Amino acid sequence: MNHAFPCGTPALDFLGTLRARRNPVPGEKLGTPELLDDWFVESGMFDGAPAADEADLVAALELRESVYSLVEARIAGRPVDVDGAAVAVLNRHAAQAPVVVQLGPDGTRRSGTAAQGLATVAREAVEILGGPDAALLRECGRPECTQVYLDRSRGHRREWCAMRTCGNRVKVSAYRSRHRTGEAPAAAGHA
C-alpha cells in the first residue's frame, strides 16, 4: 500500500497525502497520476484505477490544498471566507457527478473517473466543514505529523491521528527521553 488511512474519512485522509506539511520538504504521496489512482483504489472509493492523467493530478492537488486551508481555518477558529478561492474550488468539485455505485452480482461496485472521485471527496469535505463535525476537527499532536482527523473520543481529548502510529511514536519518544536523562517515572500515591 502506498497510502495511509488513519482518519476513517476519505476527505481527511486525502489531506494526509501531503505528509509533514511544515517540514522544509514535505512528503508528497500524490507525485504521479498513478499514485492518485492508487489512493482511489486503496481508499475503497473505486474497485479499479480510474486512469487519472496529469490534469486530474493538478485538480487533485488544488482540491487537497483548498480543503486543507479551509480545515486549518476551522481548527484555528477563523471564519471561512465563503467568497474565497478555496471555497470556490471546493464547491466546483462538489458540484460534479460523484462516484458511480451499483449493485452487481458480487455486491457493491464502485467506478468512475478521477474527477468523480474528487467530487466525492469534495462533497464529504463540504459536509464536514459546513456541519457540526467542523467543531471536531483536530490536527495530530505529533509535531512531525500534520494529519487532520475528527475527534469523536469521549471528552474530545484525542491527541493523535492514530494511536498505532503517531501515538506510539510520541509515547516511545517520551519513554526514551525519560530513561536517557535518568528520570524515574512518577509513582502514583507516594509522597
The CATH fold of domain 10-180: Jann2411-like fold (1.10.3300)
Scan for cell 465563503, then name that residue: 82
Q: Pairing between strand 107-111 and 137-139?
A: unpaired
Which among 61, 130, 118 is positioned nearest to 93, based on CA atoms?
Answer: 118
What is the residue extent of each domain of the chain? 10-180
* Cell numbers found for residue 5: 488511512
pLDDT in tens, 33-75: 999 999 999 999 999 999 999 999 999 999 999 999 999 999 9
User: Could you tell me if 137 and 128 are in contact, meaning their C-beta atoms sit under 8 angstroms apart?
Assistant: yes
**Crossing angle of helices 33-42 and 54-76, rounded to 10°:** 60
- pLDDT tens for each residue of the chain, 191 residues long: 788 888 889 999 999 999 989 899 999 999 999 999 999 999 999 999 999 999 999 999 999 999 999 999 999 999 989 899 999 999 999 999 999 999 999 999 999 999 999 999 999 999 999 999 999 999 987 777 889 999 988 776 767 676 566 755 555 555 556 667 665 555 545 54
Whole-model pTM? 0.83
